């Protein structure tokens, strides 16, 4: 016997469809209202809840900030790394950087710097515009852990943006990793790292390895001897949405909307009479 597959499908799904149309599912969690954050005039400008580490005036938010040069709203590395005075855990970090317009050196020796999350996990900054090097050391890599998913470099002298979303690792009391760190990076609007699981801290001479540390740590910017320029550095501390479960998820059964009753002949006739009376009254009022 041949069974009509469409008919069978209809028999199975139709009752379910009409059932779900009459129900709404609720999570059973009472969520707090998310905070209002006023965005910047453009998306690269700090929102109302941002902590500005460098807005163009000085590098006083950093230890050794006075060692770097600040000129016309731009910071230029000199002498040593700078380390934020404030410490952070999970963050959204925005920064803009530009490799020197005058090309000097090659590979890791050209336009090298880096942003270290918690002073340990390096997202590489390098002039990777037509400048081959090992892939897990090019711009947008987590240094010696993973290459970026794309090379979105602008030319030397042009400005690059990094938008980094960082989840700090958590450690157990005994020092074991409870949850690893994660990094997402958008480089010039292009997703370069997608929730990459950090393997440990970055090192030039040793494999990545986790060592337990505090829940928060500073942001540092590397000095590698190159005149990489920086501007517009800000971050937001990330806090998850807050809610309290008050029950298991549940359905609300809604009464389906009722079709209006068809009008009887008698009711139609009465309505017609009322309409005629109204128009006669209106005409009389005109005199």
Residues in binding contact with Mg ion, number by CB under 5 A: 3
Identify which of residues 203 and 251 has a Cβ nearer to Mg ion in the complex: 203
Which residues 6+ apart lie within 8 Å of 257 measured at CB?
none
d(CA 198, CA 114): 16
State the residue number with the nearest CB to Mg ion. Answer: 114
Question: Within 220-239, which residues bind Mg ion (CB under 5 A)?
Answer: 222
Q: How far is the CB of 108 from Mg ion (least distance, A)?
A: 8
d(CA 34, CA 176): 33
Identify which of residues 119 and 237 has a Cβ nearer to Mg ion in the complex: 119
CB 77 within 8 A of CB 113: yes
Give yes or no for residue 46 binding Mg ion (CB under 5 A). Answer: no
Residue 29 backbone phi and psi in degrees, to 5: -110, 130
Q: How far is the CB of 151 from Mg ion (least distance, A)?
A: 16
Q: How far is the CB of 202 from Mg ion (least distance, A)?
A: 9
d(CA 207, CA 111): 24
Q: How far is the CB of 44 from Mg ion (least distance, A)?
A: 23
Using a 10 angstrom Cβ sphere, with 0-12 exposed, 13-18 middle and 19 or more buried, the burial of residue 136 is middle
Question: Within 263-282, which residues bind Mg ion (CB under 5 A)?
Answer: none
Give the chain's largest Cα–Cα span. 104
Q: For the chain, how many helices (H) and strands (E)?
A: 2, 19
Q: List the one residue from 114, 140, 156, 217 that touches Mg ion (CB under 5 A).
A: 114
Site string for Mg ion, 117-136 (x = CB under 5 A): --------------------
* Piece of the chain touching Mg ion by CB under 5 A; list 41-49, 69-77, 215-223, 236-244: 215-223
d(CA 206, CA 28): 49
* Piece of the chain touching Mg ion by CB under 5 A; list 63-71, 112-120, 156-164, 203-211: 112-120
Both tokens of 133, joined, read: 């090097």
Q: How far is the CB of 26 from Mg ion (least distance, A)?
A: 50
* Piece of the chain touching Mg ion by CB under 5 A; list 160-168, 174-182, 217-225, 272-280: 217-225
Could you give the C-alpha distances from 88 to 60, 96, 113, 182, 239, in angstroms and in order? 17, 19, 21, 14, 12
Which residues contribute to the site for Mg ion (CB under 5 A)? 112, 114, 222
């Amino acid at each position: 016997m041949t069974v009509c597959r469409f008919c069978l499908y209809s028999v199975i799904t139709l009752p379910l469809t009409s059932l779900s149309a009459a129900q709404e599912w609720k999570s059973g969690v009472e969520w707090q209202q998310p905070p209002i954050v006023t965005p910047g005039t453009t998306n690269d400008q700090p929102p109302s809840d941002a902590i500005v580490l460098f807005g163009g005036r000085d590098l006083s938010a950093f230890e050794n900030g006075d060692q770097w040069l600040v000129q016309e709203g731009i910071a230029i590395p000199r002498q040593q790394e700078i380390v934020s005075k404030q410490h952070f855990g999970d963050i959204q970090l925005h920064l803009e950087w530009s490799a020197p317009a005058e090309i000097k050196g090659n590979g890791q020796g050209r336009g090298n710097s880096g942003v270290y999350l918690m002073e340990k996990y390096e997202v590489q900054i390098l002039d990777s515009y037509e400048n081959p090097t090992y892939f897990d050391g090019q711009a947008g890599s987590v240094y010696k852990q993973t290459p970026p998913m794309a090379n979105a470099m602008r030319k030397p002298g042009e400005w690059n943006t990094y938008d980094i979303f960082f989840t700090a690792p958590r450690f157990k009391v005994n020092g074991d990793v409870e949850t690893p760190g994660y990094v997402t990076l958008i480089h010039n609007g292009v997703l370069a790292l997608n929730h990459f699981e950090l393997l440990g801290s970055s090192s030039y001479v040793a494999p990545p390895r986790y060592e337990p540390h505090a829940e928060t740590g500073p942001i540092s910017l590397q000095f590698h001897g190159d005149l990489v320029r920086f501007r517009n550095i800000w971050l937001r501390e990330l806090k998850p949405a807050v809610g309290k479960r008050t029950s298991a998820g549940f359905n609300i059964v809604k009464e389906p909307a009722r079709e209006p009753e068809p009008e009887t002949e008698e009711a139609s006739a009465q309505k017609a009479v009322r309409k005629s009376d109204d128009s006669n009254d209106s005409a009389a009022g005109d005199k």
